[in-house]
């Protein structure tokens, strides 16, 4: 575990991000960014406010709270955000302008207030897809932070072997993993872009609880500790011979890595052992295809075909009536970034960071499988999460 420090985003990093967005604006006059993650990405501060990025020229960063912190954190010089009534003139937005907004996350009431302040002559459209694609390819700076997140995550998951005991509760074992993660710099939350989705630091469930259905966009769910966050570890006690799913998102200075390993007190059943080996084969097949120019749809089809060939079509990603619908996902500042290794026509590009997670779901019995975070390079992929992938017997 490496010590964490508070890192500010370099000025040249912010400049490069803004330039990429400007180059992808098309006919837009500019974009107003309000979502905290995107705001932090383009300005270097996630304090409450907005950044206006015109298609040409310099951006304007306006902060409502805390201006003092934003001044310390951002590579840009923030201005105080005044009333929405003066926003159009404050940002020097011309009449007849076309402005991009993050319509995938902006609440409707906020949209209405913003539209009213800009006036009927200003056209509003969605720029969220452009932002997602820009963020999907990471810079060297971002990759360095993800590497640290992966190293700290390896150390946290490995500590399960020191603490796993028969009869202990899932939540007690999860607390040991999460303690290690917090001490290495994890903020204690994982950003999830999807509406009505939140994520604890990870999923740690044993036996049939790991396969317990949940709303969360993940192959696994777990019962959780209350109906208001019905996922993740609960109060059930861990028994000998059942697989223990340990699936966590490490975080270092905002950037994530994702990893799953299976632990067991003693040995799992031969059926679960064989299913785990099949998942490893599927991950290897997918990892070999993670190269620039490859299609997400083709990689998804490959994973599905490999699952069928090995005899696990009814278990890979979940039973047929509730499959996850993907076998991997982009990762960075949020857990559900582009690209999606699913039936989508997205292209793999160099410097994408992708979590690959073929998991075998057995309702009432348990979950086995694997997840690793990969960096796409010019000649293929590099696995950033490096723990041994076999079932860990304790």
Whole-angstrom distance, CA of residue 254 vs CA of residue 372: 19
- Please give the average per-residue pLDDT across 5-21, as a whole number: 96
Report pTM.
0.96
Per-residue pLDDT tens over the stretch 88-128: 999 999 999 999 999 999 999 999 999 999 999 999 999 99
Q: Residue for token digits 């582009």?
A: 338
Encode pLDDT of 194-237 as tens digits: 988 888 899 999 999 999 998 888 889 899 999 999 999 999 99
Domains and CATH numbers, the chain: 11-134 (3.40.350.10), 140-393 (3.90.230.10)
Average model confidence (pLDDT) across the chain: 96
Position 217 scores a pLDDT of 86
Q: 61 - beta bridge partners?
A: 51
The residue-averaged pLDDT of 67-90 equals 95
The answer to whether the CB of 307 falls within 8 A of the CB of 313 is: yes
334's CB contacts (< 8 A; 6+ apart) are: 37, 191, 192, 193, 256
Query: Strand 79-80's sheet: what is its strand order?
Result: 79-80, 60-65, 48-54, 30-33, 98-101, 123-126
The answer to whether residue 1 scores a pLDDT higher than 60 is no
What digits encode the pLDDT tens for the residues 301-352? 999 999 999 999 999 999 988 899 999 999 999 999 999 999 999 999 999 9
Note the pLDDT of residue 218: 87
Q: What integer pLDDT is reported at residue 2 of this predicted model?
A: 56
Backbone φ and ψ for 337, nearest 5 degrees, come out as -90, 175
Cα–Cα dist 290/377, whole Å: 8
pLDDT at 198: 84
């Amino acid at each position: 575990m490496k010590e964490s420090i508070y890192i500010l985003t370099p000025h040249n990093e912010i400049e490069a991000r803004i330039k990429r967005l400007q180059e992808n604006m098309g006919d837009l006059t500019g974009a107003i960014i309000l979502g905290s993650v995107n705001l932090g990405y383009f300005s270097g501060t996630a304090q409450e406010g907005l950044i206006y990025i015109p298609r040409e020229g310099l951006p304007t960063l306006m902060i409502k709270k805390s201006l003092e912190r934003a001044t310390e954190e951002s590579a840009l010089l923030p201005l105080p955000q005044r009333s929405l009534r003066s926003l159009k003139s404050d940002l020097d937005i011309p009449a007849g302008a076309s402005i991009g907004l993050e319509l995938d996350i902006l609440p409707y009431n906020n949209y209405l207030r913003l539209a009213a302040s800009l006036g009927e002559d200003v056209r509003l459209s969605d720029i969220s897809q452009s932002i997602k694609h820009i963020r999907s390819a990471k810079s060297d700076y971002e990759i360095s932070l993800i590497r640290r997140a992966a190293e700290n995550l390896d150390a946290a998951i490995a500590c399960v072997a020191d603490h796993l005991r028969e009869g202990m509760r899932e939540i007690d074992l999860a607390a040991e993993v999460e303690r290690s993660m917090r001490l290495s710099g994890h903020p204690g939350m994982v950003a999830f872009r999807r509406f009505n989705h939140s994520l604890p630091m990870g999923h740690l469930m044993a036996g049939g609880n790991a396969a317990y259905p949940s709303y969360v966009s993940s192959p696994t769910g777990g019962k959780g500790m209350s109906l208001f966050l019905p996922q993740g570890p609960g109060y059930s006690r861990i028994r000998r011979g059942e697989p223990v799913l340990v699936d966590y998102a490490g975080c270092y200075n905002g950037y994530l890595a994702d990893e799953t390993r299976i632990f067991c007190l003693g040995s799992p059943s031969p059926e679960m052992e064989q299913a785990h080996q099949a998942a490893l084969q599927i991950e290897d097949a997918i990892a070999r295809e993670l190269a620039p120019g490859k299609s997400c749809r083709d990689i998804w089809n490959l994973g599905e075909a490999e699952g069928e060939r090995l005899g696990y079509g009814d278990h890979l990603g979940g039973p047929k009536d509730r499959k996850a619908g993907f076998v991997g996902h982009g990762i960075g500042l949020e857990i559900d970034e582009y690209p999606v290794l699913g039936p989508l026509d997205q292209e793999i590009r160099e410097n994408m960071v992708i979590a690959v997670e073929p998991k075998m779901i057995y309702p009432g019995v348990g979950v086995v499988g694997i997840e690793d975070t990969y960096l796409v390079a010019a000649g293929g992929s590099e696995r950033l999460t490096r723990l041994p992938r076999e079932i860990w017997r304790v």
